[in-house]
Amino acid sequence: MRLFAIALVAGLFQAASIAAPWNGEPQWWLQLLSLAALAWAVQQAPSWKQAGLLGWLFATAWLCGTFWWLYISMHVYGGLPSVLAAIAVLGLAAFLSTYYAAACAIFIRLDGQSGIVRALLFAGLWTFAELARVTWFTGFPWGAGGYAHVDGPLSVLAPWVGVHGIGLAAALLAFSLSLLGRREMLRSWGYWLAMVGAAGLLAACNMASVPRESETTQPRLPVALLQGNIPQDEKFEGGTGIPIALEWYGRQMQASQAALVVLPETAIPVLPQQLPAGYLDAMRQRFATGAQAALVGIPLGSFEEGYTNSVIGFKPGAEPYRFDKHHLVPFGEFIPPLFKWFTRMMNIPLGDFNRGPIGQPAFEWQGQRLAPNICYEDLFGEELAAGFTNPGSAPTILVNVSNIAWFGNSVAIDQHLQISRMRALEFERPMIRATNTGATVIIDHRGRVTHSLPRHTRGVLSGEVEGRSTITPYAWWVSRLGLWPFWLAALAVVATAAWRRKRAVTAM
């Protein structure tokens, strides 16, 4: 029971490390300590079955503690009965946790390794589980451990290996920390030399990590980011949220003097054909001349053709730009096979969208190339990287438009902010975020928030953003190879450990 309690508590602390409930900030040290606690507990397990159960309990607590706010979207705004909403959140977490259960069980089955191979085995299996959560069943990697390190010493790795490389390094460090309780390791000079060497390397990296100066593309671009704060339970209502949104966003676009105006996801909450006569034409005419442009979140399509969650762009002398969201949210934006009965129980408008392609062209304006992504698409850096294959057309500024109002005034806002900051670090690109309720911010190419609006307020964030054009090592290789290098590296470690285990058993 003691080991199960440790796994449960450690999992909750792992959730808190991504964005602490007390201040919304990432806690990199807590992520390492909580994962180290799991690694220690797994090593005490009397069997591989119990090790797997410990990993499952840890991950279920971690994931429930990370995305518990899905309950708000399903129950408060979707109308799903509270018991079913709670079961749905728990069920999703429990299912995703099987990846981590398998990782811990296989670790014990292949244990008996020595030295660095043992630590690499744990880190490789943990990375396998993280990659499975990114990839399988459309992927839902929200709350990956690497995001806790956006402000920590491991953040220097982001432009080289991205969030998953940081997660692998964190698993190595956490496993090393877990050995502190083992008497034979405390007496090992090799262990202490490795620990001191790792600490010294991290310190040297951070002391020398005055961030590489990316090449500036053009003078700063003045932007106005609109945050409407339309209540989610009114957003799609014809008598309340829709007229409020159309009036406020329309007025702000008319009044803005910024070179670029950005509206959040579904800021215009109805299809173009459902808008008042002349509304969209007036918007287009507003940006048909002069030196201003706009990016506007709006659903597009029809019942016959299907719908898309989209961004349209207006600028002088050009046809409207269009970006369609590619990575859709299960149940919220598309209905998985066999689950229509479940979504019928919820009141979610426009709940089954078509997908846009990966690598859609950027919106070019005043010498900048602005690449939109919608809501949690910025969780998938390997998909954003598709735009970086050709340096001549690579984005100079990333633009996220979101509506996190589905999840209330919860830690989801803080977690999503850390995700966007990690993308800025990986690609060394500024990220501007226009959201309905927060976090509406400007993030520079070093992952720092330079301008922000108070969340759950209605307002306009004005500031300037400086585009960048240098291609980071991570952007170069992940745009060409995807996540395969991580899969292959993890597979090589596990295969080596299995071979060593088999040879040891044969020699007995």
Q: What is the 3-state secondary structure (H, E, C) of 270-326?
A: CCHHHCCCCHHHHHHHHCCCCCCEEEEEEEEEECCCEEEEEEEEECCCCCCEEEECC
Q: What is the pLDDT of residue 465?
A: 96
pLDDT, tens only, 389-436: 999 999 999 999 999 988 889 999 999 999 999 999 999 999 999 999
Domain assignment present for 371: yes
Which residue among 64, 104, 235, 325 is the active-site one?
325
Q: What is the pLDDT of residue 99?
A: 97
178 and 63 within one domain: yes
- Angstrom CA distances, 329 to 10, 140, 376, stand at 28, 9, 8
CATH code of residue 438: 3.60.110.10
282 and 196 within one domain: no
Q: What does DSSP say about strands 441-443 and 221-227: parallel, antiparallel, or unpaired?
A: unpaired
Three-state DSSP state, 111: coil
Domain assignment present for 162: yes
442 and 503 within one domain: no
34 and 121 within one domain: yes
Three-state DSSP state, 116: helix
Using CA atoms, how far apart are residues 299 and 187, in angstroms rounded to an integer? Answer: 63
How many structural domains compose the chain? 2
343 and 489 within one domain: no
Q: What is the pLDDT of residue 319?
A: 94
Domain assignment present for 476: no
pLDDT, tens only, 229-281: 998 888 888 788 899 999 999 999 999 999 999 999 999 999 999 999 999 99
Residues 6+ apart with CB under 8 A from 39: 122, 174, 175, 177, 178
Domain assignment present for 347: yes
Q: In the annotation, is 130 catalytic?
A: no
490 and 447 within one domain: no
492 and 383 within one domain: no
Which residue among 265, 382, 383, 426 is the active-site one?
265
Q: In the annotation, is 184 catalytic?
A: no
Q: Which residue positions in the chain have pLDDT lower than 50? A: 208, 210, 214, 334, 338, 341, 343
204 and 70 within one domain: yes
Tokens 């969030």 sit on residue: 163
Residue 100 in contact with residue 58, Cβ under 8 Å? Answer: yes
Q: What is the DSSP letter of 127?
A: H
Q: What is the pLDDT of residue 251?
A: 96
Domain assignment present for 255: yes
Q: What does DSSP say about strands 293-302 and 260-262: parallel, antiparallel, or unpaired?
A: parallel
Q: What is the pLDDT of residue 239?
A: 80
Domain assignment present for 430: yes
288 and 172 within one domain: no
Domain assignment present for 197: yes
453 and 379 within one domain: yes
Residue-number span of the structural domain to which 419 is assigned? 221-469
Domain assignment present for 204: yes
232 and 205 within one domain: no
Q: What is the pLDDT of residue 331?
A: 54
310 and 177 within one domain: no
Q: In the annotation, is 104 catalytic?
A: no
Burial of 196 (0-12, 13-18, 19+ CB in 10 A): exposed
- Residue 129: cis peptide before it, omega within 30 degrees of 0: no
Which residue among 333, 375, 377, 466 is the active-site one?
375
